[in-house]
């Protein structure tokens, strides 16, 4: 392939102010001649696709793909991959993606990387996945850069290299890719591969949250809740939690439920707390299941109902949630809402204790006196 200068992501050095220098990451170059500019025929096919005229789009893309136009080959690959106007056929998708990818089309290279990663139309092969992701990433494809960062962070198809992963995350984040901004924010918040910096974490979360990323919205809400990297502000915390919750994010729904339960940033309202907990609990969020169980055990915002409390505790406990495991141990010990069963009590206490639940550890120790 010719006609472009590849981006190379090199490991950056830490400087005195304890930030990762961007000097090690080469500047992304504009591709000059690998892909043909959109032609009227390509534009006509795209318009047909947007209008759901799949047969016209298929005819035009097929004609251009047979002429060797990489953009058309990539689009034809997408149509077979997604079943748009044609039967879904991963093998045909791979065929067309490969033709476009060998001509340097970054979208096709990215798609081949993904297909090799999940094993659709080709054998699952992390090494081959990385090869195609890298080709796309070096041409500035933001999602490929992010995915390549993931591969280095996890050691999938390449030796694990956290610093190299950070470099690729940063290139994707600098292009405005929200998932990369969120992930890089996590690295700064926890100090993984970069110096711990809650202010930089909050900045990156805000960039992603402003694009609607619910994980970043929840994270920014939490940082405002505890005053980490931003001002402590319950109203601002609730604002971000609500944005995440209204997108169906279970963490945001759980956090918003707790805000209503405690009257933090919103008027205290146990009924509203129960509503948000239930939305998260119905998504199998263990924390929300436990908290909804607590509401039923105390009659807060819902009728008092120990049997219903036990049901929610058990759902959370079966997912390994230690507070729910402790509660089941306690209820079986007392015979509240469940038959009194000391062996079952010990079993649940042990599961919670093994996760570091201090009261479960104390209660379990007393059983062996």
What share of the chain in percent tops pLDDT 90? 87
Q: Which residues contact 191 (CB under 8 A, 6 or more apart)?
A: 197
Confidence of residue 19 (pLDDT cuts 50, 70, 90): very low
70 within a domain of the structure (yes/no):
yes
| Single residue among 56, 87, 103 that ends a domain in this structure | 103
Residue that is last in its domain, among 86, 103, 120? 103
pLDDT at residue 39 greater than cutoff 90: no
Which domain range does residue 51 map to?
36-103
CATH number of the structural domain spanning residue 360: 1.25.40.10
* pLDDT band (50, 70, 90) for residue 37: low
* Residue 241 within any structural domain of the chain: no
pLDDT by residue (tens digit) across 122-155? 999 999 999 999 999 999 999 999 999 999 999 9
pLDDT, one tens digit per residue, over 55-95 is 999 999 999 999 999 999 999 999 999 999 999 999 999 99
Share of the chain above pLDDT 70, in %: 89
pLDDT band at 14 (very low <50, low <70, confident <90, very high): very low
Residue 102 pLDDT exceeds 70? yes
Task: Select from 83, 103, 123 the last residue of a domain.
Answer: 103
Which of 217-220's residues contact partners 24+ apart within 8 Å by CB, and which partners?
Answer: 217/241, 217/243, 217/244, 217/247, 217/249, 217/252, 218/244, 218/249, 218/251, 218/252, 218/255, 219/182, 219/185, 219/186, 219/189
Residue 172 has pLDDT above 90, yes or no: yes
CA separation for the pair 112, 332 (Å, rounded)? 54
Q: CA-CA distance, 318 to 135, in Å (whole number)?
A: 43
pLDDT tens-digit profile of 181-224? 999 999 999 999 999 999 999 999 999 999 999 999 999 999 99
Q: Is residue 61 part of a domain?
A: yes
Whether the per-residue pLDDT at 263 is higher than 50: the answer is: yes
Q: How many domains does the chain have?
A: 2
Q: Within a domain: residue 71?
A: yes
The continuous run of DSSP H or E covering 131 comes out as helix 126-137
Query: Confidence class of residue 367 from pLDDT cuts 50, 70 and 90?
Result: confident
Give me the chain's average pLDDT, please: 91
Predicted pLDDT at 3: 45
| Inside any domain, residue 142 | no
Per-residue pLDDT at 16: 30
For 307, the token pair is: 């049997």
**Per-residue model confidence as pLDDT tens digits over 299-330:** 999 999 999 999 999 999 999 999 999 999 99
SS3 assignment, position 20:
strand
Q: Which pLDDT value is given to residue 6?
A: 60
> Does the residue 338 lie in any domain?
yes
Confidence band, pLDDT 50/70/90 cuts, at residue 368: confident
Residue 19 lies in a domain: no
Greatest Cα-to-Cα distance within the chain, rounded to the nearest angstrom: 84
- Which pTM value belongs to this model? 0.85
Whether residue 23 lies inside any domain: the answer is no
What would you report as the CA-atom Rg of the chain, rounded to the nearest whole angstrom?
Answer: 26
């Amino acid at each position: 392939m010719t006609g472009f200068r590849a981006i190379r992501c090199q490991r950056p050095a830490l400087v005195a102010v304890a930030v990762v220098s961007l000097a090690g990451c080469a500047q992304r170059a504009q591709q000059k001649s690998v892909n043909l500019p959109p032609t009227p025929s390509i534009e006509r096919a795209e318009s047909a696709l947007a209008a759901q005229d799949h047969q016209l789009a298929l005819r035009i893309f097929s004609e251009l793909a047979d002429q060797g136009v990489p953009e058309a080959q990539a689009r034809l690959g997408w149509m077979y991959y997604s079943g748009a106007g044609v039967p879904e056929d991963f093998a045909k998708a791979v065929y067309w993606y490969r033709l476009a990818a060998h001509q340097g089309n970054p979208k096709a290279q990215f798609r081949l990387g993904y297909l090799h990663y999940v094993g659709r139309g080709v054998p699952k092969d992390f090494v081959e996945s990385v090869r195609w992701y890298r080709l796309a990433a070096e041409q500035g494809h933001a999602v490929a850069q992010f995915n390549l960062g993931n591969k280095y962070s996890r050691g999938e198809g390449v030796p694990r290299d956290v610093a190299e992963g950070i470099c690729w995350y940063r290139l994707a984040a600098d292009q405005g890719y929200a998932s990369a901004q969120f992930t890089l924010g996590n690295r700064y918040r926890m100090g993984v591969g970069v110096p711990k910096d809650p202010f930089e974490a909050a900045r990156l979360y805000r960039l992603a949250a402003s694009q609607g990323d619910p994980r970043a919205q929840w994270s920014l809400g939490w940082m405002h809740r505890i005053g980490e990297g931003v001002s402590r502000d319950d109203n601002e915390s609730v604002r971000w939690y609500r944005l995440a919750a209204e997108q169906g994010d279970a963490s945001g729904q759980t956090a918003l439920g707790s805000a209503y339960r405690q009257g933090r940033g919103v008027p205290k309202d146990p009924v509203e707390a129960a509503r948000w907990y239930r939305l998260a609990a119905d998504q199998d969020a263990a924390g929300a299941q436990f908290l909804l169980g607590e509401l039923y055990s105390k009659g807060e915002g819902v009728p008092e109902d120990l049997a219903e409390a036990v049901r929610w505790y058990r759902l959370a406990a079966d997912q390994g949630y230690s507070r729910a495991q402790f509660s089941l141990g306690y209820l079986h010990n007392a015979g509240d809402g469940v038959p009194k069963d000391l062996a079952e009590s010990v079993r649940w206490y042990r599961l919670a204790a093994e996760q570091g639940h201090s009261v479960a550890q104390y209660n379990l120790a007393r059983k062996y006196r």
